[in-house]
Amino acid sequence: MLPPNWGQPHPGPRRFDLVNDGMAVRERYRPLADSAQLDEVFDVALGAGATSVFIDRPYVDFDYRSDLSHFYGRAFRPPPETTERLIFTSEHDVLGIAVIRPLPQQVGRTLLPPPQEESRYVTCRCDMPVHAFGFEWKVRGYPFSSQDGEYGVCAHAAIWSIARYHHLRFRTDRQTISGIIEAAGLRERPDKTARSDGLYGFDIIRAFRGIGLPALQYDIANIPAISNYTETAASVICRYLNSGIPVAVLSSNHMLVLIGYGEEASGEIFYIVSDDNLGAYQRMKIVTGTTPDAWKMLIVPQPGRMHVNGEAAEARAEEVFEDRVRANAGPGHLLAEWLATPRVLLVRTYATPSTAYVSGMAARGVPDQICHHHVYAPKANWLWVAEVQDPTREEDERVVGEIAVDATSLQLDPSPVFGNIDGWAYLWHPGDEEPSVIELVTGSVRYRSALGDRSEQAAAAPPAFAPYGGTPVD
C-alpha cells in the first residue's frame, strides 16, 4: 500500500528535526512494508551527524525509472512512476540522500556518509553530486540500494553498488540494474519480462566483465595453500580495500560487498560490509566453516587497466626492494633490517591511478627532489605501490621506501617503473633489469603512508531518536 499523498508536490522545503521527528518521517513509509534497510538509513544518517531530514517529492530517479521501463511498466497495474527522496542535512550542508521507491523493498539509490563509529575504517568512498534547494551539493560515502526482490536479487544490488561506486570515483560508465542483467547474459526478450531467479557465480563475473569491470576471483578456502601460505584471505582483501577497490564476497546463497576494514588490538581483522539486506555499513568478521553464510569466494572488479594482481605486484616489489638494498650503490644499511626474523620492515601494497599517487606525495612529506623524480618518471595510468614501512616509527615517518609497479605490465612478469628508498631514487627503463640510480636526499628519509591507520579505536555511543509519537508524516 502506498503512503498518503505519494508523489504530491509540496510548494517548498519540508524540513523535520531528525531526532524529534525522524521516526514520524520513517513511519510514513511503513505502509509499503517493513524495511530493515530503511531503519538503517535513519540510524546511519543520525550516526553520521545529520540533524534534519527533508522530504523531496515527487522525485524522478534515474535508476527507478530504468527498472520501471524495463520491468514494472509491463504490469497490468504498474506502480507510480515517481519516487520520494529523503535529504539528510546538518545545520548548513547536505550529508546524504535516500530514494524511496513505491515498492515493498523501498530503499533505492542511497548515499550517506558512514556513522562516526565506523567512519575511520571505510576505505571505499566516493563523491556524488546532489541537486537540491536550487544548488548542487556533494555527498560522500558508499552507494547503497536494497534489492527489489523481483527484477533483481541481492547479487544485482551488490553489482549495482560496486558499479555505481566505480562510476563516481573512477569515472567508469554509469550502470543500471537492466544494464547489469544484459551484461550477465540473462536479459529476456524486449517484449517478454520475467522476475529474476538468481545468478551463478560465473554470471556475476560475466556481468562485471560486460559492464567494463573485469573481475579477479578467489576461492577463499584455497588462498593459503595455493599461495604456499604467503597469503591469507585477509591479506588479499586488505590490499584491494587499501586501493579503494570494493571486494565482493559470495557465500553459498548471498552476495556482500566489503568496503573497509579495521584491526583489533589482537590483530584480528573485521570488515565494513555493505549488505543489501541490512545496510551499507555493517561490521562483520569473516565467516568460515560449512554454514550457508560462510564466505566462499571473493570477486574483485577492477576499475582500470590492471593486468597485474596485487599478490604478484607485491612479490615483485619486494624482490626489487631486496635487490636495491643489496646493490653496491644504494641504501645497503637496510639489508639487515629487511632480512630480520621476525620481520622488522612490513610491506603494504595498494593500487592507485598514477595521477592520484603523484599529486598526494607532497602532502605525505615526500621530499621535493623525490616528488619531482616521480612526477617526471614515465608511468602507466594505474600503478601498484608497495610501501615498505617501519611500524616502530611515528605515523609521519613510517615509510622507508616505495616501489611502483606498472599495473598494465605482465601478470607473470610485473615491471617496476620507479621507486625510492631512504633518499635514493630509481627509474626502471623498458627491458633493463637494473634501474637508473641516484641519491637525491642524503641522510635518513622517512614520510607518511598513503594508507590510513585502521587500528580499532573506541567511539562515542551513537545518538538516539526520540520515541515515535504515533502519527506518521503525511
State the binding string over 243-262 for other proteins (x if CB under 8 A, else -): -------x-xxxx-------
Kindly identify the residues of this chain, within the stretch 333-372, that bind other proteins according to CB under 8 A: 335, 359, 362-363, 372
Neighbours of 329 (CB within 10 A): 10
Which span sits near other proteins by CB under 8 A: 32-40, 258-266, 295-303, 389-397? 295-303
Give, to the nearest 10 degrees, the angle between helix 233-242 and helix 310-326. Answer: 90
Report the distance separating Cα 268 and Cα 329, nearest Å: 40
Binding status of residue 452 toward other proteins by CB under 8 A: yes
Strands 279-284 and 269-275: antiparallel
Site residue total, other proteins (CB under 8 A) = 85
- Residue 227 has what DSSP assignment? T
Compute the least distance from the CB of residue 26 to other proteins, in Å: 21
Binding status of residue 228 toward other proteins by CB under 8 A: yes
Which span sits near other proteins by CB under 8 A: 119-127, 238-246, 258-266, 341-349? 119-127
Q: Per residue in 437-455, is it b (16+ CB within 10 Å) or e — as a string?
A: eeebbeeebbbbbbbeebe
Comparing CB distances to other proteins, the nearer of 20 and 457 is 457
Binding status of residue 120 toward other proteins by CB under 8 A: yes
Binding status of residue 288 toward other proteins by CB under 8 A: no
Classify residue 77 as exposed, middle or buried by CB count within 10 Å of its CB (0-12, 13-18, 19+). exposed
Which span sits near other proteins by CB under 8 A: 175-183, 198-206, 442-450, 464-472? 198-206
Binding status of residue 104 toward other proteins by CB under 8 A: no
Size of the chain in residues: 474
Neighbours of 76 (CB within 10 A): 4
Binding status of residue 427 toward other proteins by CB under 8 A: yes
Compute the least distance from the CB of residue 334 to other proteins, in Å: 12
- CA of 163: how far to CAs of 157, 177, 265, in Å? 10, 10, 34
Comparing CB distances to other proteins, the nearer of 285 and 326 is 326
Compute the least distance from the CB of residue 92 to other proteins, in Å: 8
**Range list of H helices, 273-352:** 310-326, 335-339
Report the distance separating Cα 112 and Cα 245, nearest Å: 18
State the binding string over 130-159 for other proteins (x if CB under 8 A, else -): ----------xx-----------xxx----
Kindly identify the residues of this chain, within the stretch 299-338, that bind other proteins according to CB under 8 A: 299, 309, 311-312, 314-316, 318-319, 322-323, 326-329, 332, 335
Report the distance separating Cα 52 and Cα 55, nearest Å: 10
Contact with other proteins (CB under 8 A) among 34, 173, 219, 474: 219
Joined together, the cell numbers standing for residue 390 give 617501519
Backbone angles phi, psi at 443, to 5 degrees: 90, 175
Binding status of residue 119 toward other proteins by CB under 8 A: yes
